[in-house]
Amino acid sequence: MHRLRKNILILGGGFAGVESAITLAQEQYLNVTLVSDRKYFYVAPTSIWIPTGENRFSDNLVSLHKLAERRNFNLIIDEVVEIVGTEKEITLKSGKVLNFDYLIVALGADKLKPQGVEKVLSICGDPVDALDIHKKLELLIAEGSGKIAMGFGANPKDSSAVRGGPVFELFFNVHHRLKKLGIRDNFEMTFFAPMETPGARMGETSVEQMNKIFEISNLKQHYGKKIKEFKTNSVVFEDNSNLEADLIVFVPGNSGKNIASDLPLSDAGFIEINQYCQVKGFDNIYAVGDVAKLEGAEWRAKQGHIAEVMARGAARDIIIKENRLPFARENYQDHINILCVMDTGNGAAFVYRDDKKQFLIPLPFIGHLIKKAWGIYIKLSKLGYIPRIPGM
Ligand SMILES: Cc1cc2nc3c(=O)[nH]c(=O)nc-3n(C[C@H](O)[C@H](O)[C@H](O)COP(=O)(O)OP(=O)(O)OC[C@H]3O[C@@H](n4cnc5c(N)ncnc54)[C@H](O)[C@@H]3O)c2cc1C
């Protein structure tokens, strides 16, 4: 008997959305459609090299049209403006209304907006902002000296909603570039954050090793003071003291996606899910990646590989349900860890933490090449030109 194809709608074309689409589109009995407001899948982890000129902007993009064609799913480029779960209805900016049998929400996160934040630059906002950092850095390099400050904030309502890793990476890469040019000594470089120990979620050993790098490299630290506001060339702290700089890069804490919906949200605005990524109160709606509220250890963080684990888990759940398979469901909380190759421009550190262990392994020179190779691997494997390495 001919089987009626079920409609799967995936909102968002980032790590979580693309992974969901790739997994589900392999099932012939499913009709998979992905909606994205961008025409490309953005490989954010390698975008840290755009400001230093080591990567072109285009090096970090994979065309979603090409992905959809190679991976056999439908693509709509439009902005999602409303989700009505109870009516199984999605409204797009164009006015089009879409329906679904299953919905996967993978829209990523927004950012908190501390006062004056629009006056400074960010490596984790709109992708094209990375080009503005590049321009500003090139100007400072042409001038031959200056002050550079970079930092990140948290979201007091959700300890997982923080993104400090890329800011450390950018900071170290800028240091390395200036050193290579022989002008590092003409620059004052300061890392700032409102918490006493930024990076603490990576574990004590990692923080100690990072502190050593700061000391050896004459990188200043300005920690433990809340940020009051940003001005064009300064960060103003709660006690009205200032950190002056010619180039300021800041990544605020993540906040929930600001979209009209009837889905349940946490205090911080993230979608409430169970351990299988099902949205609470809805059988056929899942939320995966940065858009969802993560449960687990205090040190948990929203990361790309966790977004992919959640995406595969949600996809598997749909496949199990549709085929009434006697398989165990995937609990994303079993896979919570911190895993990153923290690049420094001339090497990297492999950082890992889970419930049982935490470590940092310095990888001088080779670490940089590993991250570069990963960037090529992720693009080719998403497009299906090379096989995926399980879990990567
Ligand atoms: C600079 C940088 C470096 C990073 N480095 C690492 C790293 O080394 N390791 C790691 O694990 N993680 C890293 N991360 C974090 C990682 O990239 C995120 O955790 C991951 O991208 C989350 O995936 P996602 O699909 O949930 O969200 P996103 O990747 O943000 O994708 C969301 C998608 O939804 C689309 N979208 C948003 N709103 C709408 C709308 N209204 N309508 C339609 N589409 C919409 C967006 O265009 C985007 O395609 C880094 C992040 C940044 C920014």
Q: What is the DSSP string of 224-237?
A: S--EEEEETTEEEE
Residue 191's contacts (CB-CB under 8 Å, 6 or more residues apart) are 149, 150, 151, 167, 168, 171, 198, 214, 219, 220, 221, 222
What residue's CA is closest to ligand 1, atom 37? 107
**Residue 246 lies inside a defined structural domain of this protein:** yes
Tell whether 215 and 331 lie within a shared domain. Answer: no
Model-level pTM? 0.96
CATH number, position 149: 3.50.50.60
* 239 burial via Cβ count (<10 Å: 0-12, 13-18, 19+): exposed
Instruction: Supply the range of the domain harboring residue 182.
Output: 113-254
Residue 321 Cα to ligand 1 middle (Å): 28
Residues 56, 96, single domain; the answer is yes
What is residue 259's DSSP assignment?
A: -
Of 336, 355, 385, the domain-final residue: 336
In this structure, is residue 341 part of a structural domain?
Answer: no
Domain assignment of residue 392, yes or no: no
pLDDT tens-digit series, residues 63-110: 999 999 999 999 999 999 999 999 999 999 999 999 999 999 999 999
Q: In this structure, is residue 367 part of a structural domain? A: no
Q: Are residues 209 and 164 in the same domain?
A: yes
pLDDT (tens place) for every residue of the chain, 392 residues total: 567 889 999 999 999 999 999 999 999 999 999 999 999 999 999 999 999 999 999 999 999 999 999 999 999 999 999 999 999 999 999 999 999 999 999 999 999 999 999 999 999 899 999 999 999 999 999 999 999 999 999 999 999 999 999 999 999 999 999 999 999 999 999 999 999 999 888 888 888 888 999 999 999 999 999 999 999 999 999 999 999 999 999 999 999 999 999 999 999 999 999 999 999 999 999 999 999 999 998 899 999 999 999 999 999 999 999 999 999 999 999 999 999 899 999 999 999 999 888 888 999 999 999 999 999 999 999 999 999 887 77
Instruction: Tell me the pLDDT tens digit for each residue of 149-205.
Output: 999 999 999 999 999 999 999 999 999 999 999 999 999 999 999 999 998 888 888
- Sorted by sequence, the CB contacts under 8 Å of residue 331 that are 6+ apart come out as 275, 276, 313
Choose one of 36, 79, 171, 372 to mutate for the ligand 1 pocket test, by most ligand atoms within 8 angstroms of C-beta.
36
Whether 374 is in a domain gets the answer: no
With the C-alpha atoms ordered 123, 128, 131, 136, is the resulting torsion angle positive or negative? negative
The 8-class DSSP code of residue 158 comes to B
State whether 81 and 125 are in the same domain. no
Q: How far is the CA of 105 from the centre of ligand 1 (A)?
A: 13
The residues facing 111 across adjacent strands are 254
Number of domains the chain is built from: 2
In this structure, what is the dihedral angle of CA atoms 103, 107, 108, 110, given to the nearest 10 degrees? -130
Same domain, residue pair 12 and 85: yes
Atom of ligand 1 nearest to the CA of 17: 25
376 lies in a domain?
Answer: no
Bridge partners of 64, per DSSP, are: none
The answer to whether residue 58 is domain-embedded is yes
Centroid of ligand 1 to alpha carbon of 304 (angstroms): 7
Is the same domain home to 315 and 198? Answer: no
Q: Are residues 19 and 85 in the same domain?
A: yes
Domain boundary among 254, 270, 299: 254
**9 CB-side CA count, 13 A:** 22
Helix (H, G, I), strand (E, B) or coil at 245: coil
Nearest CA to ligand 1 atom 8: 45
What token pair was written down for 51? Answer: 């400001």
Let me know whether 94 and 221 are in one domain. no
Please give the backbone phi and psi of residue 64, each rounded to the nearest 5 degrees, phi first: -70, -30
Tokens representing residue 9 in the block: 């709608």
